[in-house]
Copies of this chain bind each other. A is one copy, B any other.
Amino acid sequence: MSLGWIRFRRGEFVLATDWHIEPGQVSVLFGPSGAGKTTTLRAIAGLEKPHDGHVEIGGRVVFDSGRRIFIPPHLRRVGYLTQQTYLFPHLDVVSNIAYSLPRNRRWAGDEHIAKLVSDLRLEGLENRRIWELSGGERQRVGLARALAARPELLLLDEPFASLDSELRRALRRELRSMLDETPIPVMLVTHDREEALALGDEVQVLDSGRATAKGVPLNVLGQPGQGEVARLVGVENLLRLTVTARYPPDGTMVCEGHGLRLEVPLRDNSGERQMPGAREVVTVGVRSSDIILATREPEASSARNRFQGQVVSVELRPPGYEVTLDCGVELRCHITARALAEMNIVSGQALWAVFKASSCFLVSDYKSNCDK
């Protein structure tokens, strides 16, 4: 188990974050470039000394600013895969991996090492010099090296960044099964939403050093409540609207603007009640994949929000296409290739965008492009 909090200043940049990870759980650090993710990992590993904080790893306090405790990095038992894999240039692949082992085990062809080599698909590279490796091979050697030390906490800074999707998926599975065998807490930095969702038991969104959101990945990254988070995780439609009516009994309110009239639920996805005042200006988020396109106005549908608009553009966005519709404000809708083909969508065509009230969510402190 690992928990703690830190506060760290570097000039203007202030990092304040906390975490609590159970063994076998993966906590994802998500955030834009320069948010302080690497700094957080370094502080936990003991490579930076935060100004204030308390860090526990495996039940041991390794840092406490109040009690003047600072356990040096080599006694913290963390495995840290750094963003740039600094492999030791004087050692070959297998010696790099076995670096942390005592000498006798290192040369005995340790089976833990052998298992790491095969799990990370490094067979045949054992005796390569490290400058004879490709980028992805280096990253895997680095991961194996970090795991070989049998850490009590795993810190991974974009471990799968230069791997192809196949290998990435395989290693993700590998990591999961390793965690099932020997459950240790993992803190994982990633930019990849899919990775965060696939691996994370919890996600924390960092922005400019502040934790702006935290929780179950699906909640945080699925219907993110905060503007920055929403933008980061890719909520495509953010609408600046004015609350015109609230209907507490059926749990929705009506927001208007740009010629649109939206029904929005009053509770957010965590069940908490949101109570913007009447005539307050709010930002409403709708994911492009939650919008249905139709050639005719759908009748007798339960979907409360329907708007007609003209197709502005159709762009490839795997696994489907993104259709931008001008309904007073631009709405981006994600549809499958099949739907595109069947509906024969072309630029300029008039279409209906349909989505349910429950697909809308309030986003705080976000200035949409429309208001700039």
Contacts and interface: CB of A to CB of B under 8 A. Distances in A.
A368 interface: no
A136 interface: yes
B218 A191 contact: no
Interface string A112-136: 0000000000000000000000111
Interface in A292-313: none
Q: Which residue, A83, A135, A317, has most C-beta atoms of chain B within 10 A? A: A135
Interface residues of A, number: 50
Interface stretch (A28-36, A72-80, A179-187): A28-36
Contacts of A165: 191-193, 232-234
Interface in A26-51: 31-35, 37-38
24 contacts: A32-B136, A32-B164, A32-B167, A33-B136, A33-B137, A33-B162, A35-B134, A37-B134, A38-B134, A38-B135, A84-B84, A84-B135, A135-B157, A158-B161, A161-B161, A166-B231, A168-B191, A193-B318, A194-B317, A197-B316, A197-B318, A222-B337, A289-B319, A289-B338
A334 interface: yes
Contacts of A334: 319
A33 B33 CA distance: 24
A31 B157 CA distance: 23
A336 interface: yes
Interface in A127-184: 134-137, 140, 157-158, 161-168
Nearest to A168: B191
B338 A290 contact: yes
